[in-house]
A and B are shown apart, each in its own frame.
Chain A
Amino acid sequence: MTPQLLWLATLDGVAYAALVFLVAVGLTLIFGVLRVLNVAHGSFYAIGAYTAASLGIAISSGGLPGWLSYPALILAAVLIGTLLGSLIERQLLARIYGKEEVLQLLVTFAVFMILEDVQRLVWGVQPYFQDTPLRLLGTMEVAGVFYTRYQLLVLPATALVVLVGLRLFLRHTLQGRVILAVTQDREAAMAMGIDAHRVYLTTFVLGASFAALGGALASPTTALVPGIGSDMIVLSFAVVATAGLGQVEGAALAALLMGLGRSFAVYMYPEFEVLMPYLIMVVVLLIRPQGLFGVAETRRI
């Protein structure tokens, strides 16, 4: 492999990892706090993407300036995360926190299936496309190959901002510390007067917003079709399992590993491209069953 190809594979891997990280970090955050493996997370990704595309189309057909499509990406993420996220948490998940894990899985899976159909009813099945944000920034040449600035700069930068921001939020703000406290020990936190239900709601909305943001950011680069949510959820499960459930920094590292693994595979053994993330997961879990950053838990009775 020449240095040029090494560069190319790295850049591709990082851009891809950035999107995967955004979705996976929401999933792992929700699991860390709520202890629910949320299959409907993929729907937030898909609906966030569709909403962002619709807003973008409305902006361009309304003759508004193109740069508005950037705030539209954030708006779509916040809208979907807040509205859909709080609705699902309050109306459904709040009823099943104490129940068996299998039941929780089934309920979120059912939500996922329902939202897939809602998405089809609202947006239909024909591919959607809206790439104003990507066009605005144009391309740049790296090692003789053209890249879109959007992919090379915007995506990794957003992922980095989310990673650092989330770390600061969790470690250095009251609300963040409260979330960490509930993650560590729910009963003790509640005994200290923390309103766990509020923490659950905040976390779920935050996590859902990250997934929707991942979708919104992906929307300018890809055609939106039914089923994009399910593909993403499977991949982010792999990331979260590799990282260790509930580990934010771990999710970043795992996403990066998988992104790079995948892009290097395309250059060297294209047949392994699809397999790569799962191969990495299996190898990591064989060596560290609790995941890269996971801590082995003592079972509470």
Chain B
Amino acid sequence: MSILARALAACLLGGLLGVAQAAERPEEIVIGITAFLSGPASVFGEPGQAAAEMIIDNINAQGGIDGVPVRAIYVDEGAGGEHVVSEYRRLVQQEGVSAMLASISSGNCNQIAPVAEDLKMLNIMWDCGTQRIFEEGDYRYVFRTQANATPEMVATVLYLLKTKPDFQTIAVVNQDYAWGRESWKIFSTALKALKPDVQVVAELFPKFGAPDYSTEISRLSALRPDVVLSTSWGGDLDTFVRQSAQRGLTGMSTFVLPLAESSLQRLGKDLPEGVIVGGRGDHYFLHPEFRDDPAFQAFSAEFREKTGAYPIYPVFHMAQALAALQKAYEIALENSEAWPDTEALVDAMEGIEFRGLTRPVRLREDHQGLEDQLLGTTVHSDTHDFAVLDNIMIFPADPITTPVGQISEEWVETLDPAMLEMEVDTYQHGQ
């Protein structure tokens, strides 16, 4: 018997055994998680991983999922897209993972979605923001357990127009890569639709990872726009905010920073008062509806003990992805006696509603999650040594998310200024 034939026979046998075992309870549930553990985006990956470890430990401490313990294997997105895809295949084909949580980078999500479909692997896009995937393709195995760039940007525009309706000029300073460009496109289109008389006075896209924004800041200081938008994050955002604050620009213009929730603790009181801050969803460690909830407080305290920091949005996103997966197992186990295989899990994910740490999220028929959006304005208080949020608004996901079957760029153009009348839950400080 040739080696090839033997290998083939072994595969066949293994395959048959696999099918036979599918109905039986496994010894453990292995899931793969991709996250940036190196590079600039590890500001999100590390807290995400810490959250996953903590949540999985807690699941296992309570006996696992229906008695089966969960184990995670982590893949570093910082090693590049090709590495992530090949590791992805390896985890699916050799490590026998039951589900994949991928990924933080939109580029990686774009690459992985068709691979997951091809491998017939349940893939939860746990953090990436690109709105394109479900607008441009139809997937059975791919789900997103949070919002995408469109509701995030539309909510930001609405918050800005509700709190500062009379501004005339705006400038943008975004990172020069896909997210910086795309988020500005959605933001500016939505802004023009909702307030056509706004004038864009500067569009600046400094290099990703730029260490210095002094020239941009000088130019903006000379222009004095009413509003400065930046969707930057991580070290780039920290540097831009600090250099702007040092040179008084934050006093001249209203800063709008849709991702700054993830920088609050690092920036300390260098982030001045009066800055509009978002958290990619209703993510905020002092969420007005949950800050007094014991489970929420316990999670926050435990996370702080483990990492030294309060949870930021990737932590919330991770909690949502794992909550959805856990819920899918529950539903599948209710539906059938047998241990769920991928197909049963994927069926259970359809239209699922689950709750991570904050408001519940529901998946639509296109697998896009409907996640509410929280924004607020910074104030300094004695309770924390960094800026916290006041005048918090939580925008309901449904009206600000692109309807199923439509393309964001076209839909955003059709937004009606009447949208500004939308009922929004608003929370003032101390309430």
A binds B: yes
Identify the A interface with B (CB < 8 A).
4-5, 8-9, 11-13, 15-16, 19, 120, 125-127, 129, 131, 134-135, 139, 143-148, 151, 218, 221-228, 231-232, 262-263, 266-267, 270-271, 273-274
Chain A residues within an 8 Å CB radius of B40: 225-227
* Identity of the chain B residue whose Cβ is nearest the Cβ of A145 in the assembled complex: B221
Chain A residues whose C-beta falls within 8 Å of the C-beta of B215 in the assembled complex: 9, 12-13, 16, 262-263, 266-267, 273
Give complex CA distance A228, B235 in Å.
Answer: 10
State how many residues of chain B have any CB contact under 8 Å with chain A: 36
> Does B242 lie within 8 Å of A131, measured CB to CB?
yes
Sample (5) of A-B pairs whose CB atoms are under 8 Å apart: A5-B219, A126-B42, A129-B242, A225-B235, A228-B211
A218:B218 contact, CB within 8 angstroms: no
Query: Which parts of B19-43 form the interface with A (CB within 8 Å)?
Result: 37-40, 42-43
**A267 to B, closest residue via Cβ:** B219
B206 at the interface (CB under 8 A from A): yes
* Contact call B235/A223, Cβ cutoff below 8 A: yes
- CB-CB under 8 A for A127 and B235, given A148-B246, A270-B202: yes
Q: A129 with B222: in contact, given A12-B214, A16-B214, A221-B243 (CB under 8 Å)?
A: no
* CA–CA, A143 and B222, complex, Å: 9
- Separation of A226 and B204 alpha carbons in the complex (Å): 24
* B interface residues with partner A (beta carbon < 8 Å): 37-40, 42-43, 46, 176, 202-207, 209, 211-212, 214-216, 218-219, 221-222, 234-236, 238-239, 242-243, 246-249, 266
Across the interface, which residues of B come within 8 angstroms of A145, CB to CB? Answer: 218, 221-222, 247
Q: How far is the CA of A221 from the CA of B39 in the complex (A)?
A: 20
Cα distance, A13 to B212, chains bound together (Å): 11
Contact yes or no, B222 A273, CB < 8 A:
no
A228 to B40, CA, bound (A): 10
Of the candidates A11, A223, A274, which one forms a contact with B238 in the assembled complex, judged by CB atoms under 8 Å apart? Answer: A223
* Beta-carbon contact of A146 and B212 below 8 Å: no
Contact A126/B46 with A139-B247, A225-B209, A273-B206 known, Cβ cut-off 8 Å: yes
Closest CB-CB distance, A265 to chain B, in whole Å? 9
Known contacts A16-B212, A120-B38; 14 additional CB pairs below 8 A are: A8-B219, A13-B215, A125-B46, A131-B246, A146-B247, A147-B214, A151-B214, A225-B43, A225-B234, A226-B42, A263-B218, A267-B215, A267-B219, A270-B204
Q: Give A266 Cβ to nearest chain B Cβ, in Å.
A: 4
Cα-based distance from A13 to B219 in the complex (angstroms): 12
- Which 3 pairs from chain A and chain B are nearest by CB? A225-B235, A125-B42, A223-B235
Q: Give A134 to B243 CA distance when docked, in angstroms.
A: 10
Find chain A residues with CB under 8 A from B242 CB.
129, 131, 223
> Which residues of A lie under 8 Å from residue B239 when comparing CB positions?
221-223
- B212 in contact with A222 (CB, 8 Å): yes
In the complex, chain A residues whose CB is within 8 Å of the CB of B247: 139, 145-148
- Which residues of the other chain, B, contact A127 by a CB distance below 8 angstroms? 43, 234-235, 238, 266
Q: What's the minimum C-beta distance from A244 to chain B, rounded to whole angstroms?
A: 26
Of A135, A222, A226, A232, most B-chain CB atoms within 10 Å: A222
Q: Compute the total of residue contacts between A and B using a CB distance below 8 Å.
A: 119
List of B residues within 8 angstroms of A227 by Cβ: 39-40, 209
A144 near B266 with CB under 8 A, answer no
Hey, which chain A residues are within 8 Å of B235, CB to CB? 127, 222-225
CA distance in complex: A270, B43 (Å)? 28
Question: Which A residues are CB-close (under 8 A) to B243?
Answer: 221-222
Q: Give bound CA distance, A7 to B407, whole Å.
A: 45
Tell whether A231 pairs with B266 under 8 Å between CB atoms, given A221-B243, A271-B205. Answer: no
Q: How far is the CB of A126 from chain B (nearest CB, A)?
A: 6
A residues near B234, Cβ cutoff 8 Å: 127, 225
Closest CB of chain B to A147's CB: distance in Å?
7
Query: CB-CB < 8 A to A147: which residues of B?
Result: 214, 218, 247
Contact B211 A218 (CB under 8 A): yes
Q: Once bound together, how far apart are the Cα atoms of A136 and B384, in whole Å? A: 24
In the complex, the answer to whether A222 meets B211 with C-beta atoms within 8 Å is yes
- Residue pair B218, A12 in contact (C-beta under 8 Å): yes
Give A266 to B207 CA distance when docked, in angstroms.
12
Contact A129 B238 (CB under 8 A): yes
B236: chain A residues at CB < 8 Å are 223
Among residues of A, the one whose C-beta sits closest to the C-beta of B243 is: A221
Q: Closest CB-CB distance, B352 to chain A, in whole Å?
A: 33
Q: Roughly how many angstroms separate A232 CA and B211 CA in the complex, as a whole number? A: 9
- B211 near A226 with CB under 8 A, answer no
Q: Which B residues are in CB contact (< 8 Å) with A225?
A: 40, 43, 209, 234-235
Q: What residue of chain B has the Cβ atom nearest to residue A271's Cβ?
A: B205
Do A274 and B207 have beta carbons less than 8 Å apart? yes
When A127-B238, A271-B205 are in contact, do A231 and B211 touch as well, CB less than 8 Å? yes
A144 to chain B, nearest CB (A): 7
Name A226's contact: one of B38, B216, B222, B248 (CB within 8 Å). Answer: B38
How far apart sit A120 and B209, CA to CA, in the bound complex (Å)? 16
CB distance from A45 to the nearest CB of B (A): 10
- With A127-B235, A148-B247, A221-B243: A226-B218 Cβ-Cβ less than 8 Å: no
Q: Which residue of A lies closest to B246 (CB)?
A: A148
Given A145-B218, A267-B219, do A126 and B205 touch, yes or no (CB 8 Å)? no
Identify which of B215, B234, B246 gathers the most chain A CB atoms within 10 Å of its CB: B215
The chain B residue sitting closest to A20, CB to CB, is B212
Residues of A within 8 A of B46 (CB): 125-126
Expressed in whole angstroms, the minimum distance between the Cβ of B184 and any Cβ of chain A is 13
* Residue contact B248 to A139, C-beta cutoff 8 Å: yes
A135 to B268, CA, bound (A): 15
* Residues on the B chain within 8 Å of A221, using CB: 211-212, 214, 239, 243
Q: Select the residue from B204, B214, B247 with max chain A CB neighbours within 10 A.
A: B214
Is A125 touching B43 in the complex (CB atoms < 8 A)? Answer: yes
Residues of A within 8 A of B205 (CB): 270-271, 273
Cβ–Cβ contact A266 & B246, under 8 A: no
Say how far B75's CB is from chain A's closest CB, in angstroms: 16
Q: How far is the CB of B47 from chain A (nearest CB, A)?
A: 9
CA distance A283 to B271 in the complex (A): 42
Q: Is the CB of B219 within 8 A of A129?
A: no
